[in-house]
Amino acid sequence: MVTTQPIGIFDSGYGGLTVMKEIVRKLPQYDYIYLGDNARAPYGNRSFETVYRYTLQCVEWFFQKGCPLVILACNTASAKALRTIQQNDLPQLAPSNRVLGVIRPTTEIIGNFTRSRKIGVLATNGTVQSGSYLIEIEKFFPDITVYQEACPMWVPIVENNEHTQPGADYFVKKHVQQIMLANKEIDTLLLACTHYPLLRDKITQFLPAGVSVVSQGEIVANSLGDYLKRHTELEIRCSKNGHRAFYTTDSTEDFDNHASIFFGQAIHSSHVDLDSNIPVADHI
C-alpha cells in the first residue's frame, strides 16, 4: 500500500543527485525518492528510442511508488524522452500526474547570465544532437548565439570517480578549449549535464578569466518551487514528511559509496530490478 506520495527524481546514474541536493535544500518539507539507472548508464550515447524506453520504464516505476510528480534530473532523458512521455504516455498512464525536465527551467533563465549574448553549452552527445538547447534558448532569447560541445568522456569519468584525478585533465581541457575556440566572446558556459558540476573546478582551471560557469541544480530547484506554488492541485498531493529514499538499478554498495559525493550526505540505497519491477526493499 502506498503511504506517501513522494516527488520522484530520476537520472541515468548519480548526476541527478546534484539537482536533488539543491531541491531538498530549497524544499525540505516534501518526501522524495531518487532512482539512478546505474545499471544502464550512461545514456548519453544511446539512441532516442533506447533513452525513451529506459526513461519511460523508470517513470512508470515512480508512478507505481505513488509519485504524483517526477523530475527528469537528466538532460539526456529530458532532451530525448520528456516530450513523448508528456504528450503520448502521460494521458494514458496517469493524466493527473506530471513529469518535468531540466532543460526548460534552464533555458528560460540563461539569458540573465550573459552580457556578450554568446554562450557555450557543454553536454552529452545525445543532448547536443537533439538540438534541444538551441531550440529552447532561441524561443526565450532570440538574441543569444549558442555554441555546443559534446563531452562524451565526462560522464564515464565522473561515474567512475576519476573526476578529481589528473587523468581527467586531458578530456576536460580538450572540450573547454574547443568550445572557447568557437567564439572568444563566449562569457557563459552552461553545464547542461547533471554530472558535470563535479568537474567544475577542473573546468574553471582551463577557462579564461571572466567566463562564468552555470550549473543547473539551483535553477531547477527554484523553478520547481515556483511550479508547485502555481499548481496547488499537484502540490497538495505531494506528501510532506521530509523523507528521502534512494534506489539504484545496480549495486547498492557501489551506489552508497559513490553517491554521497554528489549528494553531500551519506546515502543508504535499495536495489530495484526494473525488469521485474519489484523493489527488493523499501526505505520509506
- Name the residues annotated as catalytic: 74, 193
Type of residue found at 186:
I
Q: What are phi and psi of 273, to 5 degrees?
A: -105, 105
Q: How far is the CB of 258 from ligand DGL (least distance, A)?
A: 14
Residues that bind ligand DGL (CB under 6 A): 11-13, 15, 41-44, 74-76, 124, 127, 155, 193-195
Determine what percent of the chain falls in helix, strand and coil, rounding each to the nearest 5.
45, 15, 35
Contact between 189 and 207 under an 8 Å Cβ cutoff? The reply is: yes
DSSP SS3 for 97:
coil
Sheet holding 244-248, edge to edge: 98-100, 69-72, 7-11, 32-36, 244-248, 269-273, 278-279
Question: What residues are paired with 76 via a beta bridge?
Answer: none
Distances from the Cα of 9 to the Cα of 119, 174, 201, angstroms: 28, 31, 25
Measure the CA–CA gap between 169 and 64, rounded to whole angstroms.
42
In this structure, what DSSP letter does residue 18 have?
Answer: H
Sign of CA pseudo-dihedral 266, 223, 205, 150: positive
Is the CB of residue 249 less than 8 Å from the CB of residue 40? yes
Three-state SS at 272: strand
